[in-house]
Structure 1
C-alpha cells in the first residue's frame, strides 16, 4: 500500500471510531440504568466522554474533520445546559488548536509556492506555528520591508484529507446526529463539502480578503488585515492580534461581551450591503477584539457572493413575519420555493413556526442566551411538537442555504456571548425596508 492510501485508510478508521464510540457509550449507559444508575448523571457522563472523544479525533485529523468540528462548535449553545460544559470545552478547542506539521514540511511547501529562495522574502521567520486551522497553520514572520506578517501554509495533502473526511462523515451522519441535538448534521456536511474545494486555493481566499480589506479600510468598527502575497497553497498578510473571541465568551465581563456581540452583528449585517459579500465561516476562532475596540476578522476562505446584496426576498419574508401577515408570507414562501410542493401547511402554521425567530427584532435590545437558543432548537426538533411537522413541510432553496447557515451561526455566537444586543437598530440600518412602514415612536 502506498503512503497516501495508507494515510487515507488510517483517517477513515479514526473517523469510524466516532459513531462506534457514541454507540458503545450509549449501550454502557443503558446497562447502568438497568441496574439502577442515576439517569441524568449517566447521560452527562456519556456526553462528556463523547465530547472528549470528538475533539481528540477531529483535532488530530485536521482537514474536513476539523472543519466539521469548528462548524459544530458554533451550535454548542443549543446543547442542553447539563451537557453543555464538556462540549464547550472540547469543541471550542477546535477553534484554535491542532497538532503542528513538521518544520521540514513547512519549508517544502513554502519552496513549492514561493520558490527555493523563499527565505529572501523575509527578514525573519518563526519556525514554531502561532496558530492552527483546519487545512493550514500560521507562522509569524518579518517581511522584507520590516512589516510583521502572518504566513499561512497549507498542510500537505489537505485536499485529499478534506474530501475524504467529508465523504466519510456524510456516510456516518445518522450515527453522528446524537452529538448535535437540535440541528441537522447531513445538510451541514454537504454544504461544507461544496465550499471546501474553493477554500483549498489560497489565491481565492486572498482575493476575498483584499475585497473585504478595501471596503473596511479605515472603518471604526471592523479591521481586516491587508494581503501581502499569495500563492495556491500559501498566503502572507499583515500580522494583527487582539483578544480571541473565545476568551471573551469564556471569561469576559458583561460589557465586553455586549460590545463584542454588537460588533459581530454589525459586521454580519453590513457586509452584504457594503461588500456584496458575506464572511461564511462564523466561529469564534475567526474573530478577535483589538485594543482599540474594533473587531478583527480573519480567514476569508469561505465567502458567499451576493452581487445584489442580501436577497430582498429574505428581508420581505422577515417583514411579513414581524408584522404578522401570514397570507402574504405564505404566498412569498411558496413563490420562492420555501414550501415543499403538495404540502398541506397553512399560512398560520408557517407564521407560528417562524415568528419566534423574529423575536430579537421586536425590541430595541435583545438578550441572546443559551436558554433561548435551546428553546428554539427544542421547539423545531421535538417530534412531539406541531412545529416539527411544520418544519418537514418547509424547504430551504439552495440559493439561500449559505446565508441562512451563516446567520444561524452568527446568532449562535451571540448566544455563546450571553449578550444584550441592539439588533433591531443594526438590522434596520442595513435593511431599512424592514421597518420602513412603521409609525415613529411617540415623542420622536
Structure 2
C-alpha cells in the first residue's frame, strides 16, 4: 500500500535530515552502510528532491565512499528500479481532472499498476481508443507542493550540491540553479516542448529513438506518448560486447549532439531513463531536467570538443581557456588538469570508461573548489551558470557508461556530427 506523501515543509525536512544523519554516521564511522536500507526507505517515500538525492547516491561513482559503496548501491538501487508509487484512486482523479474527461473515455485500457515510478511521477501502460499502446506519465498527486517545499529548504538543496562539490562554495548561486531546474520538472508542458525539440534534432538517426507525444492526451501534469519496449539497464549491462558498444555510441551521440548542436542537454541521465534494443537502438525517456545553452556557449563547447577529438592539445587548451574564461595562475592550472582528465575519452580515443576513472574525476572536480578557496592570486574565475548540471550530466552519464564496460571510439562518434 503506498505511503501517504508528506507535503509540509517541516515534516519533509525532519525526515530528510534523518536520512542524512544515517548516511553521515555510516561515512564518519566507516560502517559498511548500516543505515542504507532505512535511508533509502525514507528518501523514497519523500519522493521529490529527496528521492533524487538517493538516486544520485546510488549510481554516480565518487559520491559514496568506497567502503560504503556496495551497501548503498544495493539499497539506493531500489529508488532507481521503482520508487514508491502513489495511491491508485488519487492517480485516477489526477488523470481525469487533467484530461477533462473520464478515464474510460480517454483510454480503452489503463493499467492502474505503474510500470515505473520515480521522484516526480509514475508511468502507466494504456491503450488509446484507436488501439495505439501508450505510456502515460502521471505526476504524483501533491508532489508539486512537496517539491516546492523541498526547494525552499536550503538544507535539502545544499545537500544535493555537496554530493558533487564537497562544500558550500558558491552554494547560494548554484543552489538557485538547482531550484530552477528541479522546479521546471514539475512543468510537464515545458517537458513536452523540449521532448519535441530533442526528437526533431535526432530524427533520422537510426540508433536514437525518442517517443512521439500524443498531444490530445497531454496536460500540465499528464504526458502521454508512444509505448517503448526494450531491455532495462541491468539487462543491457549483461549483453554481448558488440551490442553494448553500439548502445554506448548511440548514447554518446545523443548526449553531446543534444548539447553542442541543439543547445539542450538532459541533466538527469540515470539508468532508468533508457530502453535498449537488440538491433543497437536506444530509446531515451524523460526530458524534464534539461539545461539550455545559448549559441556562444555551444560554439565554445564545440571548438573544445572538436580539438579534443582531433588530438590537437594546444587547440584544445586554447578553446577550453576561452570557454571557461580562464586567466592563468593557480586556478587555471587546476581547471586545465581537470579538463584534460574529463576529456580523456576523446583525447585518448578509443577509450574504455571505467568506474574508478569516474570516481577519480568526481574527486578532481571537488578539488577545484578547494583550490579556489586557498589560492592567493587573482586567478579564480567563478563557474558560469549551468556548470553544476553539466557536471551532473558528465558524472552521471560516465557512471552509466562505466557499467556498460566497453571500449568505444568516442572521438569518431563526435566527429560524425561536429
| Equivalent-residue separation in structure 2 for 1:226 and 1:326 (angstroms) | 38
Partner of 1:233: 221
| Equivalent-residue separation in structure 1 for 2:122 and 2:321 (angstroms) | 48
| Equivalent-residue separation in structure 1 for 2:236 and 2:166 (angstroms) | 25
* SS of residue paired to 1:412: helix
CA positional deviation for 1:258: 2.9
CA positional deviation for 1:369: 0.5
Structure 1 unaligned blocks of 5 or more: 30-42, 432-444
Partner of 2:60: 75
Contact 1:276 1:309 in 2 (8 A): no
* Partner of residue 272 from structure 2, selected from 266, 285, 310: 285
1:138 aligns with 2:123: yes
* SS of residue paired to 2:150: helix
1:261 aligns with 2:251: no
* SS of residue paired to 1:225: coil
CA positional deviation for 1:149: 0.8
| Equivalent-residue separation in structure 2 for 1:66 and 1:174 (angstroms) | 12
| Equivalent-residue separation in structure 2 for 1:326 and 1:233 (angstroms) | 44
Cα 1:70–1:231, aligned 2, differ >3 Å: closer, same or farther? same
CA positional deviation for 1:188: 7.0
Taking the TM superposition and a 5 Å limit, the aligned residue runs for 1:6-405 are 7-25=8-26, 29=29, 43-45=30-32, 48-76=33-61, 79-168=64-153, 170=155, 173=158, 177=162, 180=163, 190-228=176-214, 229-249=217-237, 251-272=238-259, 275-306=262-293, 308=295, 311-317=298-304, 319=307, 323-324=313-314, 328=318, 332=322, 336-338=324-326, 344-345=329-330, 348=333, 350-381=335-366, 393-405=380-392
Contact 1:276 1:305 in 2 (8 A): yes
Deviations 1:406-428 (A, max 9, x none): 23332232223323121111122
Cα 1:201–1:263, aligned 2, differ >3 Å: closer, same or farther? same
| Equivalent-residue separation in structure 1 for 2:67 and 2:182 (angstroms) | 33
Contact 2:157 2:178 in 1 (8 A): no
Which range moved further: 51-60 or 237-246?
A: 51-60
Cα 1:98–1:307, aligned 2, differ >3 Å: closer, same or farther? same
CA positional deviation for 1:270: 1.9
| Equivalent-residue separation in structure 1 for 2:117 and 2:293 (angstroms) | 29
Contact 2:16 2:156 in 1 (8 A): no
Contact 2:187 2:220 in 1 (8 A): yes
Higher-Rg member (1/2)? 1
| Equivalent-residue separation in structure 2 for 1:118 and 1:162 (angstroms) | 26
* SS of residue paired to 1:140: strand
CA positional deviation for 1:405: 3.3
Deviations 1:319-359 (A, max 9, x none): 389514698468626xx5456xxx84275555334322222
- Relative to the length of structure 2, the TM-score reads 0.83
CA positional deviation for 1:196: 2.0
Contact 2:58 2:73 in 1 (8 A): yes
CA positional deviation for 1:276: 4.1
* SS of residue paired to 1:141: strand
| Equivalent-residue separation in structure 1 for 2:374 and 2:136 (angstroms) | 49
| Equivalent-residue separation in structure 1 for 2:221 and 2:110 (angstroms) | 17
Which range moved further: 387-396 or 346-355?
A: 387-396
Contact 1:11 1:165 in 2 (8 A): yes
Partner of 1:410: 397
CA positional deviation for 1:154: 1.0
Structure 2 unaligned blocks of 5 or more: none
CA positional deviation for 1:389: 5.5
* SS of residue paired to 1:76: coil
| Equivalent-residue separation in structure 1 for 2:226 and 2:256 (angstroms) | 25
* SS of residue paired to 2:130: coil
